[in-house]
Amino acid sequence: MECLRIPGSVVPCNYSFPNSAKSNFSNSRVYFAPSWRRRRRGRNGCLRLRGSVLGESDDRANRSSQIDQKKGSLVLGTEKDDSGSIIGFHLIPPSGDVEVAEPPEDVISDEVDEAEGIDGKEEPQTRTTYNIVFVTAEAAPYSKTGGLGDVCGSLPIVLASRGHRVMVVSPRYLNGTAADKKFASVVDTESRIKVPCFGGEQEVAFFHEYREGVDWVFVDHPAYHRPGNPYGDCYGAFGDNQFRFTLLCHAACEAPLVLPLGGYTYGENCMFVINDWHAGLVSVLLAAKYRPHGVYKDARSILVIHNLAHQGVEPAATYKNLGLPPEWYGALGWVFPTWARTHALDTGEAVNILKGAVVTADRILTVSKGYSWEITTVEGGYGLQELLGSRKRVLDGITNGIDDATWNPSSDEHIAFHYSAEDLSGKAQCKIALQKELGLPVRPDCPLIGFIGRLDYQKGIDLIQQAIPELMQDDIQFVMLGSGDPRFEEWMRATESAYRDKFRGWVEFNVPISHRITAGCDILLMPSRFEPCGLNQLYAMRYGTIPVVHCTGGLGDTVETFNPYAQDGNGEGTGWTFSPLVKENMLWALRVAISTYREHKSSWKGLMKRAMQKDFTWETAAMQYEQVFEWAFTDLPYVS
Ligand X SMILES: Nc1ncnc2c1ncn2[C@@H]1O[C@H](COP(=O)(O)OP(=O)(O)O[C@H]2O[C@H](CO)[C@@H](O)[C@H](O)[C@H]2O)[C@@H](O)[C@H]1O
Radius of gyration of the chain (CA): 26
Q: For residue 209, what is the DSSP state?
A: E
Strand order from edge to edge, sheet including 313-315: 313-315, 349-352, 333-335
3-state helix/strand/coil string of 440-491: CCCCCCCCEEEEECCECHHHCHHHHHHHHHHHCCCCCEEEEEECECHHHHHH
Identify which of 552, 403, 397 has the alpha carbon closest to the alpha carbon of residue 463: 552
Residue placing its CB nearer to ligand X in the complex, 467 or 535: 535
Site for ligand X in 387-406 (CB under 6 A): 400
Q: For residue 277, what is the DSSP state?
A: G
Contact residue for ligand X among 29, 454, 600, 609 (CB under 6 A):
454
Strand order from edge to edge, sheet including 3-5: 3-5, 99-101, 30-32
Residue placing its CB nearer to ligand X in the complex, 295 or 455: 455
Taking the complex as a whole, the smallest distance from the CB of residue 377 to ligand X amounts, in Å, to: 17
Contact residue for ligand X among 49, 160, 249, 481 (CB under 6 A):
481
Residue placing its CB nearer to ligand X in the complex, 127 or 363: 363
Residue placing its CB nearer to ligand X in the complex, 163 or 482: 482
Residue placing its CB nearer to ligand X in the complex, 126 or 400: 400
Taking the complex as a whole, the smallest distance from the CB of residue 381 to ligand X amounts, in Å, to: 16
Site for ligand X in 486-545 (CB under 6 A): 509-511, 514, 531-536
Q: β-strand 546-550 against 523-526: which pairing, if any? A: parallel
Taking the complex as a whole, the smallest distance from the CB of residue 239 to ligand X amounts, in Å, to: 22
Taking the complex as a whole, the smallest distance from the CB of residue 535 to ligand X amounts, in Å, to: 4
Q: What is the contact mask toward ligand X in residues 327 to 356, using x (rule: CB under 6 A)?
A: ------------------------------
Taking the complex as a whole, the smallest distance from the CB of residue 353 to ligand X amounts, in Å, to: 17
Identify which of 157, 131, 158 has the alpha carbon closest to the alpha carbon of residue 37: 131
* Residue 461: alpha-carbon gap to chain centroid: 24
Q: What is the contact mask toward ligand X in residues 295 to 314, using x (rule: CB under 6 A)?
A: -----------xx-------
Does 152 help bind ligand X (rule: CB under 6 A)? no
Helices (H), 179-240: none
Return the axis-axis angle of helices 147-161 and 618-634, rounded to nearest 10°. Answer: 80
Taking the complex as a whole, the smallest distance from the CB of residue 227 to ligand X amounts, in Å, to: 18
Identify which of 224, 191, 192, 187 has the alpha carbon closest to the alpha carbon of residue 209: 187
Contact residue for ligand X among 102, 150, 220, 362 (CB under 6 A):
150
Does 155 help bind ligand X (rule: CB under 6 A)? no
Site for ligand X in 362-381 (CB under 6 A): 367
Letter string b/e over residues 463-498, b meaning 16 or more CB atoms within 10 A of that residue's CB: bbebbbeebeeeebbbbbbbbbbeebbebbeebbee
Taking the complex as a whole, the smallest distance from the CB of residue 459 to ligand X amounts, in Å, to: 7
Q: For residue 567, what is the DSSP state?
A: G
Taking the complex as a whole, the smallest distance from the CB of residue 582 to ligand X amounts, in Å, to: 21
Q: Using CA atoms, how far apart are residues 519 and 416, in angstroms rounded to an integer?
A: 10
Q: Quick one: which segment of 148-156, 223-231, 436-444, 466-474 binds ligand X (CB under 6 A)?
A: 148-156
Residue placing its CB nearer to ligand X in the complex, 93 or 147: 147
Contact residue for ligand X among 399, 483, 552, 603 (CB under 6 A):
483
Q: β-strand 576-578 against 546-550: which pairing, if any? A: parallel
Q: What is the contact mask toward ligand X in residues 160 to 189, using x (rule: CB under 6 A)?
A: ------------------------------
Contact indicator for 640, 327 with CB cutoff of 8 Å: no
Taking the complex as a whole, the smallest distance from the CB of residue 329 to ligand X amounts, in Å, to: 30
Taking the complex as a whole, the smallest distance from the CB of residue 304 to ligand X amounts, in Å, to: 8
Residue placing its CB nearer to ligand X in the complex, 514 or 577: 514
Contact residue for ligand X among 6, 98, 148, 364 (CB under 6 A):
148
Contact residue for ligand X among 452, 464, 521, 525 (CB under 6 A):
452
Contact residue for ligand X among 482, 544, 606, 637 (CB under 6 A):
482
Does 453 help bind ligand X (rule: CB under 6 A)? yes
Return the axis-axis angle of helices 583-599 and 461-471, rounded to nearest 10°. Answer: 60
Query: Residue 522 phi/psi, 5° resolution?
Result: -95, -35
Taking the complex as a whole, the smallest distance from the CB of residue 531 to ligand X amounts, in Å, to: 5
Residue placing its CB nearer to ligand X in the complex, 10 or 151: 151
Taking the complex as a whole, the smallest distance from the CB of residue 151 to ligand X amounts, in Å, to: 5
Site for ligand X in 88-147 (CB under 6 A): 146-147
3-state class (DSSP) for residue 236:
strand
Residue placing its CB nearer to ligand X in the complex, 123 or 485: 485
Contacts of residue 563, Cβ cutoff 8 Å, sequence gap at least 6: 571, 572, 573
Taking the complex as a whole, the smallest distance from the CB of residue 317 to ligand X amounts, in Å, to: 30
Indicate the burial class of 583 (C-beta count within 10 angstroms; 0-12, 13-18, 19 or more): middle
Q: Using CA atoms, how far apart are residues 99 and 264, in angstroms rounded to an integer?
A: 10
Q: Quick one: which segment of 123-131, 339-347, 452-460, 629-637 binds ligand X (CB under 6 A)?
A: 452-460
Residue placing its CB nearer to ligand X in the complex, 49 or 434: 434
Find the helix or strand (DSSP H, E) in which 22 lies: helix 19-26
Taking the complex as a whole, the smallest distance from the CB of residue 340 to ligand X amounts, in Å, to: 23
Residue placing its CB nearer to ligand X in the complex, 36 or 506: 506
- Listing DSSP states for 155-170 in one string gives HHHHHHHTT-EEEEEE
Torsion of CA 223, 227, 230, 231, to 10 degrees: -90
Residue placing its CB nearer to ligand X in the complex, 49 or 507: 507
Residue placing its CB nearer to ligand X in the complex, 118 or 234: 234
Q: How many chain residues touch ligand X (CB under 6 A)?
A: 26
Letter string b/e over residues 50-89, b meaning 16 or more CB atoms within 10 A of that residue's CB: bbebeebeeebeebebebeeeeebbbebbbeeeeeeeebe
Q: What is the contact mask toward ligand X in residues 399 to 438, using x (rule: CB under 6 A)?
A: -x--------------------------------------
Taking the complex as a whole, the smallest distance from the CB of residue 115 to ligand X amounts, in Å, to: 31
Torsion of CA 255, 256, 262, 263, to 10 degrees: -100
Indicate the burial class of 580 (C-beta count within 10 angstroms; 0-12, 13-18, 19 or more): exposed
Residue number of the CB closest to ligand X reads: 146
Taking the complex as a whole, the smallest distance from the CB of residue 532 to ligand X amounts, in Å, to: 4
Q: Which residues of the chain form contacts with ligand X (CB under 6 A)? A: 146-148, 150-151, 306-307, 367, 400, 452-454, 481-483, 509-511, 514, 531-536, 554
